[in-house]
Structures are given as C-alpha cells and as structure tokens.
C-alpha cells in the first residue's frame, strides 16, 4: 500500500519543499506551478520523496552499515573509496527494492501515462536536499537516466538513482564541501521526456560565465539530448542576448559562435540501449542547431525564471537553466533550473597589479606594453610556417608580427619583438589581449634561445625587460572602490569583442575608441569589396576560403554585416548605457590588401601611412560599396539591437570638404548625424584638424585626439621606423601646444573633446597636463586605468588647491 507522502507532483511543489524533494525537484515544481502562465513550458512529472528514501533505508537497517563504510574510507586512498562506495550503493539499491517503492512508482507512472499515452518515455534524475543551492550545485554528482519506458524499467532506474547518492564523486564532493553524508536526503524526479533527440538542447545562463558580466543571457546548444552539452562532451553553439535591449523590446541576437557539435545523443533502438551517441553529420555541424527565433524564446524564458527566483530570494539570482526543443511539436521546454554558483560568486569590482619579487639577469630591454609580468619558454617565429609549432603559454619572439598571426598571439604568455614602437601591430594586439609585450628589443631573435625559460616584465615603467629564468613575482588585487574618480572622464580603448564583458567591469566612463579594423581582421578576415564584387577576386584559394566563411548566409555581404555588427554591438552592449565611440575602418592599403580577396582592390603605395586611408576611402568609388557595408552594420547595432549609445568617429580626415563628403555618405547609408540621437565625432590626428578646429566643429559633435598620428605628423617622425623612434615623443613642447590648441578650440565651439592615443597611458605627466587643460575625457587601455585615474585625480586636486602638479 502506498503512502500519499511518498510521491509529490510538480504542480504541488514549491521552492520551500527542498527538505522533502531536494533542490532540483523543488525548482521544477516552482517553474511548473508559477511560470506556466507566463509561457514557460515544463514537462509534467513527479518526485519520489526524501521521506520514501529514508523510510526504505530505515526499514532495511541500512544506516549503521553505511556509517561504518563511510568511516572506513582513508583520505586519498582511491581503492578504499571505490570499494566502500560500491558497497554503499549496493545497500541502498537493495533497500529501495521493496513493494512500497515499487507501488509508488507504478501508481505515479500510470497517472503520467494517462496524460501522455501508454509507455511514455521519461527522464529519471536525482534531487538531493543539498543540491542546486546558491552556494553548492552538486551538478553531475549523481546519476541520471534518459528514455526510460515501462514501469519495470522505471522502477530499476529509480533504485539506481537512489543508490547514486554514494557515487565515488558524490562522496568526495560532500567531503570537500563539508556535508554530512547521512544527513543528505535524496529524492528522485521523474519527468516526461522532451524529444530533443529530434531537435536540439542545451544550457542557458543569465550571465556571461567567463567574466561574470550580468547584463547578458548566454545560450548554448547542440543537437540531440542535452547530456552531451551538460557533460561537456561537445563544443556547443553559443549565443548572447543583451538583457537591457531585450527588455526594451529589441529582439535581436547580440552575437553568436558556431560550435563543433561533434556528436549527438539520440534514442536507442531497443530497451537494452536507451540512448546512443552518434557522430553529427558534417552538414549539421556547419550550421547552427537553432535559429534566432528559438534563441530569443529561450532568452525570454531565462529572464522570466531569473526574475522570479530573484524576487523570491530578495536579491539578484543568476540562473543556470537546461532547455530542450521538442522535434515533434517544435516547442521550447525548460527541464531544469538552479542558481548559478561559479561566475556569480566571483569577487567583482577588482583587478590585478604586478610586481617583480627578485632581481635577475637582464637579457634585453625594449619598450614596455601593458603592465603585467609573464613567464614561458621562448618560441621563435620567423613566419607563418612556424605558427603550427607554437604551444599555448610560450613567449612569442619575432622580428615583428603580422595580423594573420593573431590566433596564435592569443595563446602566448608574452610577446617580444626586434622592431616596432608602442603603436606597432604587436603592441596593439598585446594591449587588446591583456598580455605583456616588449617591442623594439633589438636582437631578441638572436639573443633569446629557443626553449629557454624567460620572464617578461612590463611592470617597471616605460622600459620592458626580458630576464633569464623564471623570476618570482607578485600579483595583488586592486579594489576598484579604492581608486580615486576624477572629474575628467576616464574611458577605455578596446577593439576585441571577446574582452568586452570582462573589461566593462573595470572603472570606466565608456569606450573612447572601439577599433573597427580589429573586428574586420580578426572576426571577418575578408576585404569588404571582395564580398560586394566576388567576381573580381582572382585568387582561386581566396575564392574558396571566402565561400567557406560565408556559407550559411544568403549573400556574401550579409556575412560581413552580421559579423561586424555583432562585434561592435558586443562592445556597445558591454558598456551600455555609457557612450561607445566606434572608429570607422582605418586600415592602410597594404593592410587591406592582406585580407582575403583584397589584393585586387588595393593600389600599391610607397607610403600607405599617408595614402588611401580613413576618410579618403568612404565616398571614393573604389571603396564606397565597401563603406556601405560598414554603415549597414552600424545601423543594425543602433536600430535592430537598440544600442543607441554607439557614436561614430571619422578617422584621418584631411580637409573640411572631405568631412562634408563623408557626412553625406553616412547620411546616404542611413546614418544621418542627429537622427535618433546619432553623434558623429572627428578623430583629431592631423595638424590641419587643429588649425581648422573651428570649421570642423561646425560639422561634428565632438573630437577625439589621436595622439599617435598627430605626434607623427607634427614632429615628422615615422612611428614605425626603429632608427628614428627616439624622436617620437608626445611630451615635445610642440606637441603639448598642439594638444592645448585642440582642447581650447573644441571648448570654444562648445564641443566635447577627448584623447584616445597612447600618450596619457604611457606618460602620467601627459595625462595630468590634459587634465589641467580641462579635457573632457581620456581614453586608455584597460591595464592603464588605475595609474591614469590617479594621475588625473592628483592633477585636478593640485589645480583646485593652486599647487603645481608633477
């Protein structure tokens, strides 16, 4: 005879029932009962209660035997753990094989058959009383069984699920987290299967799991039943949705990444093989497992679930949710929800500072990029052919670097180059990636021996050093709340969308420079004109590569618009609602030619730095159609994604008439200055921009000083020439006067003016000088924020007190 307390249906459960049915089942009951009216679908099911589990073990006199077994396990002894755990599972399995348990299972399953049909397939999952808590998830510690059909098979699956409370891994987990083995109660949840074996399934988090950034929903998915995604056996597709924009009515996927989806778990062919894991066909791997409509539906469910549990908890409650799409009815179902316990518990509002702990032998020195310290084995790279041998964590040593090396540069512990200044490719990429680099270190490729361990330090000021061996160093954490906040806005330079969420957590007033060309080179890799006029691409290899990259898009140009808008949009979303100033593409002709299909569209120039770049391209017949793609992407960010905090900046604009042509081209492509609050800035980086600041101010909403090019053109120094690099110095009196004139001119016309070059980050004295001038904002790389905040704050305080500042 069954006891009514032995089984509880989802409809009758709430979060308060954890002691009776465990965390997982209590959460499912909460979803089933409280959120169904909001369109959140949860398959029906029931829970075998903790009371039934405890009663069965008490009736079998199992507790003393279990206590003795668990006490016999010797710490660190894998053999004793395995033996005791196996015997403990055997005790529980025998104790739950009694008529009371069987009758409870049979009666509840019969009721489920009445709703869904005879032999309905169900999932059987454990639900412990200490499971799915905000502080401990117990994820994956116990057993689950899928596609269970028939009462006999279900009864055996429930017994095995009860017994899994004593898996080896669960015992170790409880020991590590201080839980009493015998006080943990186990409930078993039985839920109608969703036919995701015919569609897709996955996990959705209501934050970004890498950074802990709270303003996005992360949806992951793959084909088939969800265990492959949950257990990490496949590389899933990933999608991000921006919460504030979504809530404001903008239904748009922020960004997406195609995963490998190597295998998929489907129903087996007979009772002896409930599921089988098969290879995913190549055609399916090459496309996303779900479309945007499903992604947005999943995000909607996730936000409703997060909102509900946050209200219940009285504080924000990021969630970890499992979803499944039914291949029969096409609907999205939620099959599990629990508090996220990793990223949400990380300390926020802090970042790191580095300091060497000992002196050592200096092998060479150069210009420091960033402020970090790293160690690794030397790997010389002479050209692209050497990249295949590169291993993560090595120190990349080269004469100079190239844009097509960036995938490998991401894996480097540090970068050291023979040539280059603070604005060379290696320096720019290193800053973006947050890794130390020493550039312009003559003879690095000769003096640094392959395989030798070195320490690369950029934590000692302007000069970076490469030391022999692995020197000790300290990393201290800086609390953002302890940093001074000056009146002057301190913004961030950023080009890599992959770093946006993490970087946005640092103190900042927005993004003063979002580099579009980084996104084009890294996330697109194709010349825009090669997508507009593919028939003009002469290289067969390039045509094949472009076809592979753009597969799945209706038109090749759609690939460019989607990728660029997602890259720029990710940065705008990360810093929303703070301003994000995106610079229109500013490749030189030789850099454009290096993109796939680019060689046939670019002229060969003796001095690309002063040639067909920046504003000169946008309305020119040779590139106007490519510029239209850039505009379409930016329009999608502002209109479809709703990220109107995005501002546009025009680079390298030589003359006022040229500025008018660019603004006309922007307007013709749907980006008219002033419409929908659109602001257009000018990058003030040519002396003529300073000389004619009043005329330019009539056309633009603000200025951002590009100190790299402005210094180069004011002093007549090629910033990439190692032999005259010593003359490239933003602290030159002539340059300081240029900065003064630019700030004064902008303010005379009531225009915002900031700076986004490297000078304030490299020389705190320049930052202080600009603060005294009253510049509106200073934009630096993320690693330079702490010292820039301090330099600017000290200058402001000194100015207020009438004291001179350094």
134 pLDDT exceeds 50?
no
- Pairing relation of β-strands 680-684 and 646-650? parallel
Band of pLDDT at residue 290, cut at 50, 70 and 90 = very high
Angle between helices 764-773 and 733-748 (to 10 degrees): 30
Q: Rounded to the nearest 5°, which phi and psi values hold at 147?
A: 50, 50
Of 705 and 208, more confident: 705
Strand 646-650 relative to strand 580-583, pairing:
parallel
Task: Give the tens place of pLDDT for each residue, 460-478.
Answer: 766 899 999 999 998 888 8
Helix axes 540-550, 556-575, angle to 10 degrees: 60
Separation CA 101–CA 187 (nearest Å): 12
Query: What does the alpha-carbon distance between residue 584 and residue 594 come to, in Å, rounded to a whole number?
Result: 18
In this predicted structure, the answer to whether residue 423 has a pLDDT above a threshold of 60 is no
Per-residue pLDDT tens digits for 668-701: 999 999 999 999 999 999 999 999 999 999 999 9
User: What is the model's pLDDT at position 148?
Assistant: 95
Instruction: Tell how many helices (H) and how many strands (E) occur in the chain.
Output: 30, 30
User: Closest Cα partner for 205 from 340, 308, 317, 32?
Assistant: 340
Over residues 202-218, mean pLDDT: 90
Q: Mean per-residue pLDDT for 500-527?
A: 92
What whole-number distance in Å separates Cα of residue 599 and Cα of residue 613? 15
Q: How confident is the prediction for the chain on average, in pLDDT?
A: 90
Q: Comparing C-alpha atoms, which of 171, 153, 151 is closest to residue 163? A: 171
> Which of 264-278, 371-385, 416-430, 594-608 is predicted with the least confidence, judged by mean pLDDT?
416-430
Q: Is 8 within 8 Å of 21 (Cβ atoms)?
A: yes
| Tokens (6 digits) for 447 | 């003096």
pLDDT mean over 368-392: 90
Q: How far apart are the first and last CA of the chain?
A: 87
Q: Which conformational region is residue 614 in: left (phi greater than 0), alpha (psi within -120 to 50 degrees), or beta?
A: left
pLDDT in tens, 643-669: 999 999 999 999 999 999 999 999 999
Q: What percent of the chain has pLDDT over 70?
A: 94
Residues 6+ apart with CB under 8 A from 154: 105, 109, 122, 124, 148, 190
Give whole-number Cα distances, 717 to 402, 425, 607, 752, in Å. Answer: 22, 17, 13, 28
Q: Which residues are catalytic?
A: 425, 756
Q: Which of 197, 299, 196 lies closest to 238, judged by CA?
A: 299
How far is CA 15 from each of CA 183, 335, 349, 375, rounded to the nearest angstrom? 20, 16, 31, 49
Q: Which residues contact 551 (CB under 8 A, 6 or more apart)?
A: 286
Q: Where are the alpha helices (DSSP H) in 47-205?
A: 50-59, 63-71, 78-95, 99-116, 151-163, 168-177
User: Which tokens go with 44?
Assistant: 């029906």
Task: Report CA-CA distances (Å) from 428 to 374, 409, 719.
Answer: 18, 12, 13
Select from 769, 764, 771 the least CA-distant residue to 791. Answer: 764
Measured CA to CA in angstroms, residue 414 lies from 366, 379, 420, 431, 477 at distances of 13, 10, 15, 11, 21
User: Are 655 and 616 contacting, i.e. CB atoms less than 8 angstroms apart?
Assistant: no
Whole-angstrom distance, CA of residue 31 vs CA of residue 623: 54
Q: What number is the average pLDDT over the span 117-136?
A: 76
DSSP string, 73-84: PPTT-HHHHHHH
CB 286 within 8 A of CB 552: yes
Tell me the average pLDDT across 410-432: 78
Which segments of 469-597 are extended strands (E)?
Answer: 473-479, 489-494, 511-515, 580-583
């Amino acid at each position: 005879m069954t006891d009514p307390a032995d089984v509880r249906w989802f409809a009758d459960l709430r979060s308060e029932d954890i002691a009776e049915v465990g965390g997982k089942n209590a959460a499912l009951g909460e979803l089933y009962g409280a959120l169904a009216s909001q369109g959140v679908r949860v398959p029906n099911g029931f829970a075998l209660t903790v009371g039934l589990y405890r009663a069965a073990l008490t009736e079998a006199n199992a507790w003393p035997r279990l206590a003795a077994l668990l006490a016999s396990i010797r710490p660190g002894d894998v053999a004793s753990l395995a033996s005791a755990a196996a015997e403990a599972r055997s005790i529980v399995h025998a104790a739950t094989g009694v008529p009371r348990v069987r009758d409870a299972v049979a009666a509840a399953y019969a009721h489920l058959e009445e709703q869904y049909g005879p032999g309905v397939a169900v999932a059987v999952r454990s639900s412990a009383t200490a499971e799915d808590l905000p502080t401990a998830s117990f994820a994956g510690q116990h057993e689950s069984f899928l596609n269970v059909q028939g009462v006999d098979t279900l009864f055996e699956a429930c017994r095995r699920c009860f017994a899994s409370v004593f898996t080896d891994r669960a015992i170790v987990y409880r020991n590590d987290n201080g839980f009493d083995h015998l006080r943990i109660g186990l409930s078993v949840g039985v839920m109608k299967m969703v036919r995701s074996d015919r569609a897709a399934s996955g996990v959705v988090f209501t934050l970004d799991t890498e950074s802990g950034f709270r303003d996005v929903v992360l949806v992951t998915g793959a084909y088939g039943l969800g265990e492959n995604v949950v257990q990490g056996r496949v590389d899933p597709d990933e999608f991000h949705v921006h919460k504030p924009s979504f809530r404001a009515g903008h239904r748009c996927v922020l960004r997406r990444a195609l995963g490998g989806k190597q295998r998929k778990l489907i129903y087996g062919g007979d009772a002896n093989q409930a599921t089988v894991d098969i290879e995913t066909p190549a055609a399916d791997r090459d496309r996303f497992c779900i479309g945007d409509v499903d992604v947005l539906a999943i995000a909607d469910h996730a936000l409703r679930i997060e909102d509900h549990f946050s209200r219940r908890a009285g504080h924000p409650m990021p969630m970890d949710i499992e979803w499944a799409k039914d291949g029969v009815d096409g609907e999205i179902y939620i099959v599990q929800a629990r508090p996220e316990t990793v990223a949400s518990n990380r300390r926020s509002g802090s970042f790191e500072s580095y300091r060497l702990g000992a002196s050592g032998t200096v092998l060479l020195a150069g210009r420091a990029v960033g402020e970090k310290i790293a160690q690794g084995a030397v790997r010389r790279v002479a050209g692209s052919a050497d990249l295949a041998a590169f291993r993560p964590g090595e120190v990349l040593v080269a004469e100079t670097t190239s844009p097509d090396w960036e995938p490998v540069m991401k894996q480097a512990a540090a970068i050291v180059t023979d040539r280059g200044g603070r604005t060379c490719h290696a320096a720019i990429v290193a800053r973006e990636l947050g890794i130390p680099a020493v550039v312009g270190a003559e003879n690095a490729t000769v003096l640094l021996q392959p395989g030798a361990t070195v320490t690369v330090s950029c934590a000692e000021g302007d000069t970076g050093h490469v030391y022999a061996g692995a020197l000790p160093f300290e990393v201290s954490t800086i609390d953002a709340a302890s940093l001074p906040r000056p009146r002057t806005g301190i913004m961030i330079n950023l080009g890599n969308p992959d770093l946006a969420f993490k970087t946005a957590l640092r103190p900042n007033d927005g993004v003063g420079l979002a580099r579009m060309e980084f996104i084009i080179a890294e996330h697109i890799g194709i010349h825009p004109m090669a997508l507009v006029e593919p028939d003009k691409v002469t290289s067969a290899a390039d045509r094949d590569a472009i076809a592979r990259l753009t597969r799945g898009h209706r038109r090749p140009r759609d690939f460019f618009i989607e990728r660029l808008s997602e890259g720029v949009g990710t940065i705008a979303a990360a810093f929303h609602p703070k301003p994000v100033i995106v610079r229109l593409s500013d490749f030189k002709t030789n850099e454009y030619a290096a993109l796939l299909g680019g060689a046939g569209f670019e002229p060969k120039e003796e001095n690309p730095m002063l040639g067909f770049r920046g504003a000169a391209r946008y309305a020119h017949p040779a590139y106007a159609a490519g510029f239209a793609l850039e505009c379409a992407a930016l329009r999608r960010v502002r209109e479809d994604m709703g990220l109107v905090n995005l501002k546009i900046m025009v680079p390298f604009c030589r003359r006022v008439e040229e500025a008018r042509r660019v603004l006309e081209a922007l307007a013709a492509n749907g980006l008219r200055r002033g419409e929908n609050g659109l602001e257009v800035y000018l990058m003030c980086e040519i002396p003529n921009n300073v000389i004619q600041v009043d005329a330019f101010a009539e056309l633009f909403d603000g200025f951002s000083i590009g100190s790299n090019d402005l210094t180069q053109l004011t002093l007549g120094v090629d910033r990439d020439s190692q032999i005259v690099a010593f003359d490239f110095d933003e602290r030159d009196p002539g340059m300081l006067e240029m900065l003064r004139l630019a700030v004064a001119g902008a303010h005379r016309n009531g225009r915002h003016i900031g700076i986004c070059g490297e000078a304030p980050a490299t020389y705190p004295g320049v930052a202080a000088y600009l603060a005294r001038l009253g510049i509106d904002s200073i934009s630096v790389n993320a690693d330079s924020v702490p010292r820039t905040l301090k330099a600017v704050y000290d200058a402001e305080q000194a100015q207020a007190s009438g004291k001179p500042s350094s």
